[in-house]
Structure 1
């Protein structure tokens, strides 16, 4: 169980769902261990958040556990989408723990957002990767079949074809050096899905991921983005993905902290609106 996620399912405002898919991960596999590892390295965090004056265990968070993955990614994503759709139908926000980034597609389909916001080192706009059209390197292209626009924060690598796709009007790319100055331009009636690929962080901070890319974001910059997006009160789904077991817990610890930051900021925004 994610620490503090002790609410009953029927009363939950947020539902943690583990999605340990690990079928298209490139270079360093191990995302199948991501959800449990994030839970494990979040155990030391205090329940209380001084910034919002809230307790995590009072935020009505429930841990559904993991949705066991199998080799057929398309079939798995369809099943995971059903689990996350049930969460949405119960008026709760799904918090998905990956698992490779492909699982984000299930979350986006369940949430059906207007805008997709992603912290990511990679554009993930490929049509296929190594012959696989449903790869973690294609996820944002697939997301744009659902969402009206994508905002990719921290991207610093991609193919020529990906950058050509990113130049179209429905994609905004914010390079790492400009992320600190970025602020959300959406809100109100717009719905948003927020995805955190842990490789958005510089690998010096989060080496436990499949495809490390230098010159990335600091944990504080990622935290500020998560807070800013959550505080719009428009987020219909959240995930943190691409954590593996190839470090001493740095990536998992950051992932767990960012999930908590999202819950605190989103809950605080909801309280302020009452």
Structure 2
């Protein structure tokens, strides 16, 4: 590594979007020294105005941080960022990368193998709880990888979320996140399918929504966001393209005791909606919500 190694406990936080920005801010407010980086200069400026420090170019280029937290859109962006660093081994200090990005277990294993050869410990650390949870610190944090790497980042993880689980070998947390997303998306897909069935049957949309929201199907998975989705015409919420990305992480875990067609049916409905130009709409758009 060029120059003297930097061995302070500053955390590099990369990816300041809908989840990353609030988490980085919470960590800074909790007293952690945070350096931030994002390709979006505007969001970097917004957080800099609140006291966070932009990562110096040289430290960023060589990843001269004990701890780096990533919260990026997809695995391709993760790989692009890490492969663009000059990650030379340095005996002066250890480096741990904790990746909040939702990735497939095989990707997590691949990144661990690649980075360990360069003296960097990689953990997959997906989050669940959405933007509201990121802002309030009420996130479920799932972590897997080496125990030593987990110990390095655990204090920060316990500020990012109120529930933290260490699941062992690399990829285990990504499997857990994929199962979490499957349950969440399956409920939403079934709710949307019910709306579509009612529309085909000629039943009043307002009555259908009232029955589903107040009868046995009512559930916080819908109730805490349905009004927002309706008000935006389906353009706010859990975008269909994001749903497909998450479901694709179920690469080596299939629903046990359920027909294999269940997952396929959900994917097909989402893919058809995406093909119809609804990729940026909430998953409930596949049920033709009123006013869409």
Q: Which has the larger radius of gyration?
A: 2
Q: What's the TM-score once normalised by structure 1's chain length? A: 0.30
Q: Which has the higher contact order (CA 8 A, sep 6+)?
A: 1
- Structure with greater strand share of residues: 1
Q: What's the TM-score once normalised by structure 2's chain length? A: 0.28
